[in-house]
Amino acid sequence: MSPSGPRATVVIPTQNRRELLERALAGLDRQSCDFDLFEVIVAANACTDDTAAVVSGRRSPYTLRLVDGVEPGASAARNAGAERARGPLVIFLDDDIEPSPGFVAAHLAAHADPHRDGLRVVMGYLPAELQASGDLFAITLRAWWEAMFDVMRDPGHRFAYTNLLSGNCSLPRDAFLAAGGFDVRYRCHEDYELGHRLLKAGAEFVFAERAAGRHRDATRLERASARKRDEGHADVQLAQQHPELRPSLPLSRPRTLRRQIMWWSAFHAPAIGDAAARGAARALPLLERGGARMTWLWLLYLVFGYWYARGVADALPRFSDLAALLDGAEADRRRRDADRFDVPLDEGIDAAARLLDRHRPMAANLSLAGRPFASIPYEAGAEPLAGRHLRSALHRRWYRHYVEALVAAGRPPLPALDNAAPPADSPPHEREQPFGHPRRAYSDATSL
């Protein structure tokens, strides 16, 4: 070990999954960086298999330590591992992820940007495994995972607390411990909860695609449904602990009549609801065989939606408690959204971006020649706005409004656009892009 000690500690929480753990450790054996740079702590919580013996007896090129006898739960294991970490950086790695050779080096590099200081949290990547076979559920699951990382790959992505995934992320140990670590009261979404506290403390989230690990995801529908129920439970805790997050939680989404019935049965007639959800789950393979993929997907969302509602019902005694929990959430969101920072684009995009970088507001109006033409709204649980968000918003959403505002202000960006602003009476559909539908939010589907 180098005299200054390791620069990073990889913390792997595990419980009775010796074979998976060995695969993860073997991946760490193949790291491209110097083995003095990191140490590994396996935090075994309440293991009844021979995990402890295997870790103790293992010969590894890096320092490998075992933290045993931790109280149950991955959060407690991660906290215990971080407390004993000697590296100033903690890298959390799940035991079912096989890190790529550049994994540790990429995490270290992402923290070593000399141009920025302050608390930084680095999210790694779990690339999809390409499989020859695989049923519709496996394919869908993989597509959800990829979609989650796709948004983070955009350099103008506005990070939110839901982007913190505890399976593959890194942050300074001291900041983690000062924040109190993961909240062990959560069944799941403890990473979201920590993410929110870190963002509120001014943390900067970064996505490091090269910090990749192959994820063996063998989740099936039953387990995914149970997980959805846990998520419903956890979201009630989140709403209670951090009321400002309420508008971003699925439980506050407006409900159609069908969903209203689903929620009602989750609270008042769970026996009927459970039977219906199980019946629907059994109908899914029939739809798959008949090739009715979109109907299959719709029904899957419905089944997951029910189990989520069931989880909410687990945490709240009465249906009316849900309404009480959500009381004032929308008004709070509107109040925060109304506080919009004015970003004039008269001096160009770069000047406007610098202005946002200086002020970091939560919501903004974009204007040209004193006339607002676009906005970037407040998002509950998201990071404050920066210049890169402006660039992304102009590119993804407001490009046409921007150019039309330039033309209207007598500053056509191209000679061919003199007087070319579309006549006011032209029907909107002619001006819209053919494939312009916004992508559906993935929050229903994230982190199964």
| Residue 354 or 391 having the CB closest to other proteins | 391
Amino acid type, 28: L
Q: What are phi and psi of 392, to 5 degrees?
A: -65, -40
User: In the chain, helix, strand, coil percent, each to 5?
Assistant: 50, 15, 35
| Residue 114 or 291 having the CB closest to other proteins | 291
| Residue 140 or 162 having the CB closest to other proteins | 140
Q: CB 315 → other proteins: shortest distance, Å? A: 29
Residues binding other proteins (CB under 8 A): 127-128, 130-132, 134, 139-140, 142-144, 146-147, 150, 153-155, 209, 289-294, 297, 349, 391, 394-395, 399-400, 402-404, 413-417, 419-423, 426, 430-436, 439-440
Q: CB 113 → other proteins: shortest distance, Å? A: 17
Q: CB 290 → other proteins: shortest distance, Å? A: 5
| Residue 2 or 426 having the CB closest to other proteins | 426
Q: CB 381 → other proteins: shortest distance, Å? A: 23
Q: What angle do CA 225, 311, 240 make, to 5 degrees?
A: 140
Q: CB 293 → other proteins: shortest distance, Å? A: 6
Q: Assign 3-class secondary structure to 207-263.
A: EEEEEEEEECCCCCHHHHHHHHHHHHHHHHHHHHHCHHHHHHCHHHCCCCHHHHHHH
Q: CB 128 → other proteins: shortest distance, Å? A: 6
Cα 378 from Cα 381, distance rounded (Å)? 9
Cα 40 from Cα 64, distance rounded (Å)? 5
| Residue 36 or 209 having the CB closest to other proteins | 209
| Residue 241 or 295 having the CB closest to other proteins | 295
Q: CB 448 → other proteins: shortest distance, Å? A: 13
Q: Does residue 103 contact residue 31 with C-beta atoms inside 8 Å?
A: yes
Q: Does residue 373 contact residue 365 with C-beta atoms inside 8 Å?
A: no
Cα 266 from Cα 311, distance rounded (Å)? 9
Q: Does residue 210 contact residue 107 with C-beta atoms inside 8 Å?
A: no
Locate the DSSP E strands across 328-412: 341-344, 364-368, 371-376
| Residue 145 or 267 having the CB closest to other proteins | 145
